[in-house]
Structure 1
Amino acid sequence: MDIKDTARAFDGAGISAFLRSLPAKPLLLGLGEARHFVEELGELRNELFRHLVEHEGYRSFAIESDCLMGLVVDDYLATGEGTLDDVMERGFSHDFGAVPANRELVRWMRAYNEEHDEKLRFFGVDGPLEYWAASPRQALTALCDLLDGPLPCTRETLDALLGPDERWSDEATVMDPSRSIGRSAEAQRLRLIADDLVALLETRAPRLSARDRERAELYGRTAVGLLRYHDGMAEPSPDRIGRLSALRDAMMAANLRAVAEHGPALVFASNLHLQRNMSLMSLGEHRLEWWSAGAIAATHLGDRYAFLASAFGTAGDDTPPPDTVEGMLSTLPWEHALVDARRLAEAVTRSVPAPRVSHDFAYFPLDPAQLGTIDGIVFLRRAVRLKKLG
């Protein structure tokens, strides 16, 4: 089989044809980032989302960004109140608000909502964390605000247990678990309170509007997840980072399942968060393993989850060797191609591609051994406008 027979141009016709080739219409279509801050990929993502909205009935967009900050964007899309500058500053984490493609996406989604009765939704699906984590204050207090009637503790008690937010957001805890307060008496009591609040939400759910119930469930998931993550940060074991990575992806997976309840959605996050195969990382002498958010979501959604990995040919001054997957895909006649990854896996069985070794630490090349676990590949022959991380 010729590699060209596994691919098509990345355009509206190609996108629809690819979706028709899947065993079922995805509730979640994941578009992975091989590297953050690649402007061309963001522009292709916007093109993909516009086509999905206008021709395939998609109404939600989700991104690897703080799930609580994402509420700022979703409110703006619904009401138009505030300024786009403010929304981009307060509605994204990880510096994603400064990405031009993200700004253009929010602008387009708001313009669409002004003209249509059926509104578009925006979701952040990451927790309020990096390798360190934020205070659970916002999630806990917002959940309390939405619950009518008696609560498991007073606001004064909650504030006293939380203490200064700086105790929770200390970045030094990444390398030093003894700096974490995740297993303090206050944190342990807060975990019980969070559990009680989530249980209370179930008993009072009929009294809440659909919007308030959706947000209360998000606050509950986030509070419980953050407190669990802080507990993991205090664990002085060798596989601590692997456990934290697993907890982060589990939080993302729970948010993804909530997004899927609103109908078909495009999800934009790192390939590592959306892939079906197990994530691996070496830490000294230890080999860490955990399942990604995409793998967990696929366990629940089955064929209703689909994954498009992205990959680049020449990235800056880094050109892939011809015997790698990226090198082979660079021979395709299109600048941007949509590749059927499973057919590609069949096409290269006789000459298994070599793994690509990239000089860019932030770029994660395709693993030739995992092509069969990917539904499709969005391939950019050139990705020259790389932005610096951080």
Structure 2
Amino acid sequence: MATDIKHITHAVEAAAVLGLLPARPRLLALGEPTHGEDMLLDLRNELFRQLVEQEGYRTIAIESDCMTGLLVDDYVTSGTGTLDEVMERGFSHGWGASAANRELVRWMREFNVRARAAGRPASERLRFAGVDGPLEITAAASPRQALTALHDYLSAEVDADLLPCTRATLDRLLGADDRWTEPAAMTDPARSVGQSAEAGQLRLLADDLVALLDAQRPHLLTATSRDDWDRARLYGRTATGLLRYHRWMADTSPARMTRLVGVRDQMMADNLLAVAARGPALVHAHNSHLQRRESTMRMWEGSVVWWSAGALVNARLGAEYAFVATALGTIRHQGVDTPPPDTLEGLLYELPEDHCVIDAPRLATALGTTPPAPRVSPWFGYAPLDPGHLTAIDGIVFVKDVPRHRGSPSHG
């Protein structure tokens, strides 16, 4: 089989990836089947450099907190803070410990410094975006930061009589932040404040603040910068999304976890669409967040099925969204050894290259009507590629062997 598919393999290069697509996408999504492996992030960094230097891409968006990501964007665009500070405070899920992420941020800042010295316009600078909500798999942030930032933006530019409430009202309804961040709430809905009377009032006020932001758009785009407006929109999306997430944390129905993971990916999708509005971007997240098909995951409450951010964005952007999945052969330091020969990864493992790009639709055609057997991972942190998804994938980056990493997070 390896001989049969050699003609549809290419080097892992931007030109080869874009060559698989009918047109240059607005969002080029590169998925990974596991987190915490710097080798995969090194490949992502190199692909982004080529997209920037050869194809005019200017933004990278990753699976990290959209609010803290603003600190990274400030650093790479304006030099605000230091590299150490943004690596410590600008990433969620432990991503700031990654040597590859540090190298990405350093390179982006240096690129922008050189661009400014050369007199290139601000539109040519590189931008960074976190597209995940302020969420972990076991917790969610207080909506305070996003909600009060939105209120502050509006109160500085809009007649006070138009505001639905004062800042003091928000503070009173929010209460102490540890009410919202209670760790036990993920497994015990009764510990969540998401369906309290105060939370219900905050949801209505957040909705009114976002509606006011939209109603005042002509004025605000004149009175403030486009970046300030975009951030206010981010604050609004995040505040309403977090309040909705907390509402479902307090739910006791069988659909609770489906609702939670669905809200998270809806927040990611909304952030990705905002990134797409700025111009072509490379997106990097787990395959399950970026795929066009429904995502599935087994959690402590059973199997969960939901529409991923990629599926939601694809439904809006169509051909302007492209999805390239990453598949792996081995991660021996995690107990993932040579894949069985009858699996998709086993077939790809026979290829001579250490890593390559494969035309996924043509691979599906070459495999015919009998797909390979699904691979079963002995380690929960790695999700093999579903052979049934091949026709919904534009390309596959295959990495034969993943060496022990240099020190990265293990977020799932």
Query: Counterparts of 1:4-15 in structure 2 under 5 Å?
Result: 4-11=6-13, 15=14
Indicate the SS of the match to 1:352: coil
Structure 2 residue aligned with 1:348: 367
Compute the TM-score of the two structures, normalised by the length of structure 2. 0.91
Moved more, 285-294 or 222-231: 285-294
**1:237 aligned partner:** 253
Matched with 1:298 is 314
Contact 2:41 2:101 in 1 (8 A): yes
Q: Decide whether the 8 Å contact of 2:20 with 2:359 is kept in 1.
A: no
- Shift of the alpha carbon at 1:351? 4.5
Give the aligned residue type for 1:325.
Answer: L
* 1:211 aligned partner, one-letter code: D
- The equivalent residue for 2:103 is 104
Distance 1:271 1:20 in 2: 21
Matching of residue 26 in structure 1 with residue 25 in structure 2: yes
**Aligned partners of 2:35 and 2:409 also within 8 Å:** no
| 8 Å Cα contact 2:95/2:409 also seen in 1 | no
Q: Is the 8 A contact 1:238 1:286 kept in 2?
A: no
In structure 2, C-alpha distance between the alignment counterparts of 1:350 and 1:176, rounded to whole Å: 45
Please tell me the residue identity of whatever aligns with 2:403.
Answer: V
The corresponding residue for 2:135 is 129
Residue 298 of structure 1: CA displacement? 0.3
Deviates more, 1:149-158 or 1:333-342: 149-158
SS of the residue corresponding to residue 347 of structure 2 reads helix
Q: Helix, strand or coil: the match of 2:330?
A: strand
**For 1:325-374, what per-residue CA distance to the aligned partner results, in whole angstroms no more than 9, with x for missing partners?**
11111111211101111111111125421111111210000111111111
* Distance of 2:297 and 2:38 partners within structure 1: 27
Shift of 1:215: 0.5
Deviation at 1:121, TM superposition (A): 0.6
Query: Which residue identity lines up with residue 10 of structure 2 in the other structure?
Result: R
Query: How far apart are the structure 1 equivalents of 2:96 and 2:185?
Result: 26
- How far apart in 2 are the matches of 1:129 and 1:189? 22
Aligned to 1:336: 355
Partner of 2:151: 144
Letter in 1 for 2:88: E
CA contact (8 A) 2:207 2:240 kept: yes
- Whether the aligned pair in 2 keeps the contact of 1:310 and 1:377 (CA below 8 Å) is yes
Alignment of 1:1-390 (within 5 A): 2-11=4-13, 15-116=14-115, 117=120, 118-131=124-137, 132-147=139-154, 148=157, 149-150=159-160, 151-208=163-220, 209-282=225-298, 287-316=303-332, 317=335, 318-349=337-368, 351-386=370-405, 389=410
Q: In 1, are the aligned partners of 2:20 and 2:395 still within 8 Å (CA)?
A: no
Q: Which range is displaced more, 42-51 or 18-27? A: 18-27
Mapped partners of 2:215, 2:66: distance in 1: 24
> TM-score of the superposition, structure 1-length normalised?
0.96
Whole-Å separation in 2 of the counterparts to 1:73 and 1:286: 36
Task: Determine the C-alpha separation between the residues in 2 that align with 1:350 and 1:167.
Answer: 53
Identity %: 60
Structure 2 residue ranges without an equivalent (≥5):
none
Distance in 2, matches of 1:141 and 1:78, equals: 25
Which ranges of structure 1 fall in alignment gaps of 5 or more residues?
A: none
Distance 1:101 1:286, change over 3 A: closer
Q: Is the 8 A contact 2:68 2:92 kept in 1?
A: yes
Between the aligned partners of 1:61 and 1:282, the Cα distance in structure 2 is 30
Distance in 2 between residues matched to 1:344 and 1:193, nearest whole Å: 51
